[in-house]
Amino acid sequence: MKIYVGSQNPTKVDSVKQVFVNHDVTGMEVESRVAAQPFSDEETLEGAINRARECASMNKSNLGIGLEGGVMEIEGDLYLCNWGALVDSKENVFTASGARIALPDEIKKSLEKGKELGEVMDAYANKHEVRKNEGAIGIFTNGVIQREEMFSHVVKLLKGQWEFYQQF
């Protein structure tokens, strides 16, 4: 079975490869059709679903997976959030979310000015391409959790749901 991932970001594609080890996994650029920096669970989830649906529409016998990172606010604090969606050949949609971590006020202020988290994290950590490596989660957990691992957990949740419903 072929699995299309709605991104060419190596952390997202590799997270799917880790979970679907015996399948052909290909990353492809697709539009999330949400803001470049999603600012809510709803918007982040919508982006993941849009990416998964577009990938699944490439060939109805394949799976499409969309993974989207964003931020969301709770009581004035901004949290990192991430969502995933899997769309199968029957157009069933499975969704899952993963780890959340509060972001420093300095990051929140930069994002509120319209910047993307990846750009902000590069400047904050004085690194290049944080989004394609450890991600904000890796920076703010001192490397204990990496972005790929965070997305792998979401992909496991998606795969488990999809496999469960294959029984019926």
| Cα-based distances in Å from 50 to 7, 21, 54 | 12, 24, 6
Q: pTM score, two decimals?
A: 0.94
Name the nearest CA neighbour of 66 among 24, 21, 27.
Answer: 27
Tell me the pLDDT tens digit for each residue of 50-105.
999 999 998 777 999 999 999 999 999 999 999 999 999 999 999 999 999 999 99
The whole-angstrom distance between residue 62's C-alpha and the CA centroid of its chain comes to 19
Tell me the pLDDT tens digit for each residue of 108-146.
999 999 999 999 999 999 999 999 999 999 999 999 999
